[in-house]
């Protein structure tokens, strides 16, 4: 089966919608010779392998399809997100240790 990537979709979005589990992202990446964190391009076509595994959740797949849910959670590089707090600061960028 083939799927066409939508704007701002990650491999994990596609794995959940098509196979019902984020774990399936590893199988999809392998089938398409890409990394699991690679940026996907809108209209890019991906092969979805036939997987017989406990982590494939038909009930989740059916829910997403019946309700026409198309997750798109990839962070757009053009979006500027203001992250504040010590856990988001970088040494030598936000502050210097002496």
pTM reported for the whole predicted model: 0.72
Give tens-digit pLDDT for 12-30.
999 999 999 999 999 999 9
Taking residues 57-82, what's their average pLDDT? 81
Give residue 54's pLDDT. Answer: 77
pLDDT over 70 (residue 3): yes
Residue 12, classed as helix, strand or coil, is: helix
Give residue 87's pLDDT. Answer: 60
Query: Where in the sequence is the domain holding 77, given as residue range(s)?
Result: 1-98
Count of domains for the chain: 1
Give residue 51's pLDDT. Answer: 79
Distance (Å) of CA 68 to CA 2, 43, 65, 71, 84:
17, 18, 5, 10, 35
Q: In which band, very low, low, confident or very high, does the pLDDT at 37 lie, cut at 50, 70 and 90?
A: confident
């Amino acid at each position: 089966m083939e799927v066409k990537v939508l704007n701002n979709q990650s491999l994990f979005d596609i794995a959940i919608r098509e196979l019902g589990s984020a774990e399936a992202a590893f199988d999809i990446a392998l089938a398409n010779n890409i990394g699991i964190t690679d940026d996907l391009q809108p209209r890019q076509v991906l092969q979805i392998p036939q997987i017989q595994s406990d982590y494939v959740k038909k009930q989740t797949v059916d829910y997403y399809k019946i309700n026409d849910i198309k997750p798109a959670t990839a962070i757009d590089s053009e979006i500027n997100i203001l992250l504040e707090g010590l856990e988001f600061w970088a040494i030598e960028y936000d502050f210097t240790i002496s």
